Structure 1
Amino acid sequence: MVYNRREFIAFLGKASIATITIPPFLSGCSSNTKPLKNKLSEEQIKKLKNVVLEALVPSDKDDLLLANGLDYKIVIKWGDRISDKDTFGFNPDFNCFIPLDENNPKDGLLWVNHEYTNPLYVADFNPNDFENPSEHKTKAQVDKEMYSVGGSIVRIKEEQGVWKVVNNDSHNIRITAQTPIAINWDKPIMGKTEIMGTNSNCSGGITPWNTFLTCEENYDNCFGQTIYGENDNTTHIPSLNGWEKFYNNPPEHYGWVVEVNPKSGTAQKHIALGRFAHECCTLYELEDKRVVAYSGDDTKNEHLYKFISSKPGSLKEGTLYVADTVNGKWLALDWENEPVLKNKFKDQTEVLIRAREAAKLLGATPLNRPEDIEIDPITGHIFVSLTNNKPKGDYHGSILKIEETNGKFDALTFKASTYLAGGEENGFSCPDNLAFDLSGNLWMTSDMSGDAMNKENGPYMPFKNNSLFVIPRYGKDAGKVIRVASAPRDAELTGPWFSPDGKTLFLSVQHPGEQTTDKANPTSQWPFDGDNIPKPAVVAITGDLIDKMNYLNLVEGSST
């Protein structure tokens, strides 16, 4: 189905309440807004075009800097208590907010991914002290690391303009690397139907039935990787973390999309969506209630995938496809009907476990680290962040645009093009997370690595610290990339997600001070809470600028 501009502007691009029936549910990795019920008049659009944006200049200051018209408050940070027994995990990434009552956008559940740890702070273990650090960790230190990843569900409320955690609320739980998780598949994975924990949780998504999706990305850092040779011979590549020293978990148990039920706290891993370094999982619900799920493999020269379910509301029954962006085709990873896959793998389960190999056999296009994926709520085009590929000379990345044939999300052909390239000319580098707001403005974070930023004569020197940008849809700045936030030193801004009323942007400040080698001399002290320790956190950004960008105070009768 093709939607015109009015239809797309009239609904929230990323519904989290699953109450919108026309157009169908559309949900993504990192934004969630409420429908705009009224048609915009010419006068209202004129006002929107007159919104003035004052861009920040690149900065290497150790602070979270915001453009004029924006302010932030910390919602929760690493180590904060969420209950009598649990604390908030490390390195928050993806955020997702669901109201408990659809009529009250100021009280709900916040899901936060915890991607990985810094052992220096989490486990009091300095890897710089050893040539082979993982060999020297104790089980107690590994257990601390395993507890600090996964995800958190916390109930938060906005009171007098400030978002606060409802401590000890019955919904507040932790999912960790040691939480038992079922698999949603008919065959065991490496002999197990229940898997120990989730890790490497990067971005995510949300389902039409109001559950969270969290995606396992760099899972090989935790339990290593399996290299498959001829005649079923395998080789284990050790992990960076060395967790397998104490827990003999097969790498094949990780690299999946995990669904978390916020009310029960239960979770399941979706095997049908394939195993690779999932950055996110972006869902679209078709009119017949079948779902389409987009996901990228955030590794150099890996691929873009799409799952199309064959039954309503299923993330199990259906077909996984991989993109040939050169010829504009979705290629089916279907063992039964693809002879090249049947000759290589013993069944569909093995195809899904070894999705990367299967994709290459089919002729999928290698891409430059496909990360976050969003669907433009006005055009229906799919935007994919391609962060970079340094060995190929692509230091600054780009945003790929996918136009499905006839606007049908279950189409098997498409057109691919570059929407925007990174670099000094366009003012950004290494695009990562994306989010659309109520008016269709595109928000984007950057992902320059901490060991490469602010290096004299390096390719990233002009951009200074990682940042948050917006690309306006209207006005004199339409199409320009405008910096509206600058991260603290070494940090990355991740997981942008709008509250249902569009008045708050939740954002993670991940790994400030990551380049620290001596705790007594941290490279960052953000958030400056008095103990000289950098602490990853989730912040709530509000202000007049967000109100104006989201039509608020401009559209009579809009939800405020």
Structure 2
Amino acid sequence: MDYNRRKFISFMGKAGLASLVLPQFLMSCGNTATPIKGFNNISDERLQELKNLILEGISASDKDDLLLADGLDYHTILKWGDKISDTDTFGFNNDYTCFIPFSDDNPKDGLLWVNHEYINPLFVSDFNDADENVQPKTKEQVDKEMYNVGGTIVRIKEENGVWKVVKNDPHNRRITAQTDIALNWDYPIKGQSYVKGTLANCSGGITPWKTFITCEENYDGFWGETVYDENNVESHVNSGYGWENFYEYPPEHYGWVVEVNPKDGKAQKHIALGRFAHECCTLYELEDKRVVAYTGDDHNDEHLYKFVSSKPGSLKEGTLYVADTINGKWLALDWENQPILKTKFKNQTEVLIRARESSKLIGATPLNRPEDIEIDPITGNVFITLTNNKPKGDFHGSILKIEETNGAFDALTFKASTYIAGGEENGFSCPDNLTFDMSGNLWITTDMSGSAMNREDKPYMPFKNNSLFVISRHGKEAGKVIRVASAPKDAELTGPWFSPDGKTLFLSVQHPGEQTKNLKKPTSTWPFDADNIPKPAVVAITGDLIEKMNRLNLIEV
């Protein structure tokens, strides 16, 4: 373990004062809202504090509760069904979270965005497909399901250490599967320039111009998918939820990166970033104000992408690239300049709609479910979680590190290496979401499936429930993977995001009790409401440990 810890720190890059990268903008999928500035100015006293910080983690647990390490506490901000206004309620299966304060002077009052990734019909619409006597799903049930996905914007304030929703604030609103959303593209898709709704919203980001980014991942579960045979003839594969029995919404309208304006809720889908199972979209603003957007396709043997804009502040004009990690090259998904793409697709729009097929044609490297992507605020290296690939025997996943040539995020070459692998030796399995705190420590959540956890016949038994981990960059624990939180039964912890002052970690507890087959016998009862059924929720984690880990935020520069 000592050798591995040294190796991990070397790969991540120690908090060395000579190699500091100062990003112009770094507010992405869970990264702190403030990039590290003035790291060279840290005082000897505060550096010593970090070196002396001892992290005492917790053991793996299968208990039905949200367990935290000493020095941490939590309170619930929002849970499924809570009112955010007189007309709207909080959606189901909350995932990614991010927070934008109203002003830099007050980090305790602002807007929280939360994704709602998918629904469990048993809870949301009282539809139990495990019941042999179940009746066909009705339009009313589908409408309930459509309302409970998408996202939530809500104003929250911290008072006396507790974050609370500001009820009926004018900003509070829901974005659902029925919200009108524009396509940011010059050509209609399936005859439309506006589409209905967003769904399968997994992770996301914040733009340099302070709007929310939410990413459509497993869209095919809602509207099915269009597939093509060897002669390029299309056919439709039905969805799992059966929504297309009541609404004729083409699958091609989903699977995009979506931008939402927090002020009025207006949204647009960015076609130039490609269509696939987007886990997240991590943005970086170059010195000339052009934007680089990293995004991964969360599916076995799919790919890592990077969009580089050709105009300042644009997520439309530019080039989408896909990674060849074997040769360290970014390959352009460009219909005009890639002759092989012209053999199968009519134009660039088709290339983007069928990005998976396009990527394979030009030689992209298949990866093991690329999910969250974060940029190290100290070194500028790019970290990507590869959650697993069970058909290929990768049960525990790993974290990939990309070093762009000369540290240039718009470079077309890079070096790829494995930062850390999941497994019993390192104490975690199936990495999912990442975030760096203000001291450059790396936080990791895991995503072992509920059907495989805590089963003797599965390889995940030693890890018990999904958890939140941290790899410290400083002190005696540097390089060690430490469990700081354990999720309730069947749940995963998602969407970690630090408040601007570094004193709160916002975190989603997603799908507790998802293995429930009978509401009278739920597999979890967290968060222990009076109605005794599990509910997804967003919590605020606070405490002395969080503040010490983010100690660098107190540096004046």
TM-score category (smaller protein): over 0.9
Per the alignment, residue 324 of structure 1 pairs with 324
Per the alignment, residue 351 of structure 2 pairs with 351
Give the direction of change, closer, same or farther, for the CA distance of 1:556–1:321 in structure 2 (3 Å limit).
closer
Query: CA deviation digits over 1:514-541, x for unaligned, max 9?
Result: 0000000000000002111100000000
Per the alignment, residue 83 of structure 1 pairs with 85
Per the alignment, residue 50 of structure 1 pairs with 52
Equivalence map 1:364-383=2 (5 Å): 364-383=364-383
TM-score normalised to structure 1 length: 0.95
Per the alignment, residue 94 of structure 1 pairs with 96
> Contact (CA 8 Å) 1:467, 1:487: kept in 2 or not?
yes
How big is the shift at 1:10?
8.9
Letter in 1 for 2:455: K
Task: For residue 191 of structure 2, give the secondary structure of its aligned residue in structure 1.
Answer: coil
Q: How many Å separate the matches in 2 of 1:125 and 1:541?
A: 34
Q: Report % sequence identity.
A: 74
Tell me, yes or no, if structure 1 residue 234 matches structure 2 residue 234: yes
Q: How many Å separate the matches in 2 of 1:425 and 1:457?
A: 19
Equivalence map 1:156-555=2 (5 Å): 156-551=156-551, 555=554
Task: List gaps (5 residues or longer) in structure 1.
Answer: 12-22
Give the direction of change, closer, same or farther, for the CA distance of 1:358–1:462 in structure 2 (3 Å limit).
same
Q: How many Å separate the matches in 1 of 2:280 and 2:247?
A: 27
> Contact (CA 8 Å) 1:9, 1:439: kept in 2 or not?
no
Per the alignment, residue 64 of structure 2 pairs with 62
> Contact (CA 8 Å) 2:21, 2:379: kept in 1 or not?
no
Task: For residue 210 of structure 2, give the secondary structure of its aligned residue in structure 1.
Answer: coil
Task: For residue 426 of structure 1, give the secondary structure of its aligned residue in structure 2.
Answer: coil
Query: CA deviation digits over 1:290-338, x for unaligned, max 9?
Result: 0000000000000000000000000000000000000000000000000
> Contact (CA 8 Å) 2:15, 2:473: kept in 1 or not?
no
Query: CA deviation digits over 1:438-462, x for unaligned, max 9?
Result: 0000000000000000001420000
Query: CA deviation digits over 1:114-157, x for unaligned, max 9?
Result: 000011110011121149x8x82111001000000000000000
Q: How many Å separate the matches in 1 of 2:440 and 2:210?
A: 23
How big is the shift at 1:228?
1.5
Task: For residue 198 of structure 1, give the secondary structure of its aligned residue in structure 2.
Answer: coil
Task: For residue 322 of structure 1, give the secondary structure of its aligned residue in structure 2.
Answer: strand
Tell me, yes or no, if structure 1 residue 24 matches structure 2 residue 24: yes
Letter in 2 for 1:348: Q
Task: For residue 365 of structure 2, give the secondary structure of its aligned residue in structure 1.
Answer: coil
TM-score normalised to structure 2 length: 0.95
Task: For residue 127 of structure 1, give the secondary structure of its aligned residue in structure 2.
Answer: coil
How big is the shift at 1:4?
9.6
Q: How many Å separate the matches in 2 of 1:556 and 1:446?
A: 31
Task: For residue 120 of structure 1, give the secondary structure of its aligned residue in structure 2.
Answer: helix
Give the direction of change, closer, same or farther, for the CA distance of 1:148–1:7 in structure 2 (3 Å limit).
farther
How big is the shift at 1:557?
4.9
Letter in 1 for 2:78: I
Letter in 2 for 1:346: K
Query: CA deviation digits over 1:51-89, x for unaligned, max 9?
Result: 111111000000000000000000100000001100000
Q: How many Å separate the matches in 2 of 1:556 and 1:312?
A: 31
How big is the shift at 1:232?
4.3
Query: CA deviation digits over 1:4-49, x for unaligned, max 9?
Result: 95598696xxxxxxxxxxx411221112243555711223211111
Q: How many Å separate the matches in 1 of 2:441 and 2:479?
A: 9
Q: How many Å separate the matches in 1 of 2:38 and 2:365?
A: 40
Q: How many Å separate the matches in 1 of 2:174 and 2:458?
A: 40
Task: For residue 468 of structure 1, give the secondary structure of its aligned residue in structure 2.
Answer: strand
Kindly tell me the number of residue pairs found equivalent between the two proteins. 543
Q: How many Å separate the matches in 2 of 1:48 and 1:24?
A: 26
Task: For residue 244 of structure 1, give the secondary structure of its aligned residue in structure 2.
Answer: helix
Per the alignment, residue 122 of structure 1 pairs with 124
> Contact (CA 8 Å) 2:373, 2:384: kept in 1 or not?
yes
Following TM superposition, the consecutive aligned residue runs of length 4 or more in structure 1 with deviations greater than 4 angstroms are: 3-11, 35-38, 554-558
Give the direction of change, closer, same or farther, for the CA distance of 1:95–1:420 in structure 2 (3 Å limit).
same
Letter in 2 for 1:29: C
> Contact (CA 8 Å) 1:322, 1:331: kept in 2 or not?
yes
Letter in 2 for 1:484: V
How big is the shift at 1:395?
0.3
Task: For residue 47 of structure 1, give the secondary structure of its aligned residue in structure 2.
Answer: helix
Give the direction of change, closer, same or farther, for the CA distance of 1:282–1:526 in structure 2 (3 Å limit).
same
Task: For residue 545 of structure 2, give the secondary structure of its aligned residue in structure 1.
Answer: helix
Q: How many Å separate the matches in 2 of 1:108 and 1:269?
A: 24
Query: CA deviation digits over 1:227-270, x for unaligned, max 9?
Result: 02255421100000110000111110100000000001100000
Q: How many Å separate the matches in 2 of 1:509 and 1:449?
A: 14
> Contact (CA 8 Å) 2:26, 2:33: kept in 1 or not?
no
> Contact (CA 8 Å) 2:20, 2:379: kept in 1 or not?
no
Letter in 1 for 2:300: K
Q: How many Å separate the matches in 1 of 2:132 and 2:409?
A: 50
RMSD between superposed Cα atoms in Å = 1.8
Q: How many Å separate the matches in 2 of 1:253 and 1:42?
A: 54
Q: How many Å separate the matches in 1 of 2:451 and 2:264?
A: 40
> Contact (CA 8 Å) 1:10, 1:37: kept in 2 or not?
no
Q: How many Å separate the matches in 1 of 2:556 and 2:332?
A: 46
Task: List gaps (5 residues or longer) in structure 2.
Answer: 1-13
Letter in 2 for 1:331: L
> Contact (CA 8 Å) 1:97, 1:110: kept in 2 or not?
yes
Letter in 2 for 1:82: I
Q: How many Å separate the matches in 2 of 1:228 and 1:189?
A: 17
Q: How many Å separate the matches in 2 of 1:177 and 1:342?
A: 34
